[in-house]
Amino acid sequence: MAHASCTNTSYMSRCSSPSSVAPVYQPWTVYTDDKGPAYRLTRASGIMTSTITTRPTCIREEHTEKREISEADSAYGNIVKSSNDHPHGDESSSSLSTRIRLPTVIEAPNEGCTSVSLRVRIYTLVTTQTPKIQLGNTTLIGRATPLLHVDFFGAIPFAEPPLGKLRLKLPVLKTNLDAEVFDASNFGLACLQQDVPAQAMSEDCLTINIFRPSDVPTDFKLPVLFWTYGGGFDAGTASTFNGSGIVAQSLVRGTPLVYVNFNYRLGPLGLPQGKEADNRKALNLAIKDQHVALQWVQENIGVFGGDKTKVTVFGESAGAMMTAVSFLDPDFGKLARAAIFESGSQATASTFNAERRQNSWEAFVGGVPRCANLAKTDHTFACLQNATSEEIFEGVNASLTNPTEKFPFHPTIDGPDGVYPDYPSRLFARGHFAKLPFIAGTNLDEKLIESFLIANFSPPLVSTQSFDDAVKQLVALYPEDPALGSPFNTGSETFGLTPGYKRAAALNGDMGYQSQRRFWIQTASNAGVKTFGYLFTQPQAGSGRLGVFHSSELVYVYGDVENPTPSDAALSSNMMDYWISFATSLDPNDGKGSSRTEWPQYTPDNQVIIQLNGDNLTAIPDDYRKEQIDFINSMPLTFHHRRSL
């Protein structure tokens, strides 16, 4: 696509808005309420839709530029074709021109309104070709978002369908498609899970999606960000995450990259449990799905303009845990060169051997009508492989409706030849992990669940007496004073719950998340690995007892905060730039994009993390609740770290 106002035609300097906030997709619309004229912008650029409203008195500045666009933008709702929508109503347009307004700076608000700096663009309609890629003998037909200069290719199978004899088997890499032309204009179906319409999911779900800058020259090889979603290992789908905002931001700042995400099997199909699954080497299939998706990237990302030697894996919650488990392989560098772990480490998920959750497997098999009579045997696989997908879903639904524990399907210790060979603390002590650069962080209030220590750590890995003594000592380190509990920084407010709630929440979050992040980053930095840590503390409006809750950072990373305040907008811009900078340079401080605080490297002599807060973005010592977290990390096998106590 030609850019009429471009003076520098090099790929790294394509004409783009100099905005440092996330791009938007929909136009400003005009309406009138009891306060007079107003202008509303709807954003649909990431993982949710949000709205910004402003008024003429809020507009601080306006810039005008001219640029060509394509007819495709009109179909996506990007084009404002009428001249009477101009905030000041004083410009005309011809049939060949149109204008769209994008907020480029969200400043301190005037009283009663959101202050927005507008960039008014005058566009001329041109024709843009639908993006196409030749993958082997197959032509992939993608989808363009010309205003963002981003192409999308989705629903591409990266493994053979895990059906029939391939159900509950290792994924089989699929690098070629069985068609001359393949429609890659949308995401694929989600894997089997609860709370998703039947028509939106399938067992045949192992697909991969690519967002890339448009018109990547054949001689360019761009860094790759590879995303793994979370969802407790029994929910989630790649289609929730629209990477076009991240790619567009990478272009704006002059460090273009390619974004990739994928689907992996969930629940009992992705994380089988029990003795039979162990004997058949069918454990941790979801993690192996991730590895095969990464192998597909190694084989194919070059045709999309990606550099297979510059892959940064990142994920949140279960996605971060899976990626962290992958780091237990010292040779993981053959698939990636760096990682970003958002709220998840190796032992955040409960770590047991396969037989610990035998009853979870029996609940699944018992829910599959034709196999129910075999549920308590070690001969279930053959029957399950002959069942229909509808019958299999009945079992999935049964195992999750009345689970034997809160998270019945988690990564499992699978021995020396597996992806999870031993308890992380034992592997760390031997230096048995990938020595690759990473960012690791947590949110202020990670896990707010009331439950009981002893019920969730049976049978313990140490003597019962030692375990009981450790529990008493640990509980004593968390006072009953609600002012010291989670959500933190909320004083004595108990949100209508018992005072013990905040105490339990603080202990729970430290056990599963805060202690594990600190344990992991200290282990790696002591081994000479380049690491960076963060604590996300941005207040979440209306979150009440949840505080700065688990997953609340996601909309900032994807540039999609709902009704953002100036603080939210600034933080989202900074976080996107930190993440993109790390993916492209292995350092969050490349000096490009938004002006932001220097993020110090975490070292044995400088154990400092960055506080991600729009009103106070600053480096802080990594010593919050030091006594409590030191105690937890002093006996990892006693607690064998658990995210849900």
Residues belonging to the active site: 317
> If you search the block for the tokens 């194919």, which residue do you land on?
300
Q: Does 487 sit behind a cis peptide bond, omega within 30 degrees of 0 on the bond before it?
A: yes
Helix (H, G, I), strand (E, B) or coil at 340: strand
* Interhelix angle 626-634/515-526, nearest 10 degrees: 70
Hey, how many other C-beta atoms are within 10 angstroms of the C-beta on 80?
22
Partnered with residue 224 across adjacent β-strands are 258, 311
Buried b (16+ CB within 10 A) or exposed e, 593-624: bbebeebbbbeeeebbbbbbbbeebebbebee
Give me the sign of the Cα torsion angle 448, 510, 534, 583. negative
CA–CA distance, 158 with 557 (Å, rounded to integer): 26
Partnered with residue 118 across adjacent β-strands are 62, 103
Angle at 537 between CA 552 and CA 601, to 5 degrees: 105
CA–CA distance, 124 with 246 (Å, rounded to integer): 26
Helix (H, G, I), strand (E, B) or coil at 326: helix
Helix (H, G, I), strand (E, B) or coil at 159: strand
Tokens representing 430 are 């031997």
- DSSP, res 11: G
* Interhelix angle 285-300/318-326, nearest 10 degrees: 70
88 contact partners, CB below 8 Å, separation of at least 6: 56
Angle at 294 between CA 532 and CA 406, to 5 degrees: 70
616 contact partners, CB below 8 Å, separation of at least 6: none
Q: If phi over 0 gives left and psi between -120 and 50 gives alpha, with beta otherwise, what is residue 66?
A: beta
CA–CA distance, 237 with 189 (Å, rounded to integer): 8
How many angstroms separate the Cα of 130 from the Cα of each of 14, 69, 423? 20, 13, 49
How many angstroms separate the Cα of 475 from the Cα of each of 330, 444, 627, 632? 36, 20, 12, 11
Tell me which H or E stretch contains 579.
helix 566-585
Catalogue the E-assigned strands of 161-219: 181-183, 207-213
CA 610 vs. chain centroid, Å, equals: 19
Helix (H, G, I), strand (E, B) or coil at 168: coil
Tokens representing 257 are 């990259």
Radius of gyration of the chain (CA): 25
What type of residue sits at position 225?
L
> If you search the block for the tokens 């032509």, which residue do you land on?
139
- DSSP, res 191: P
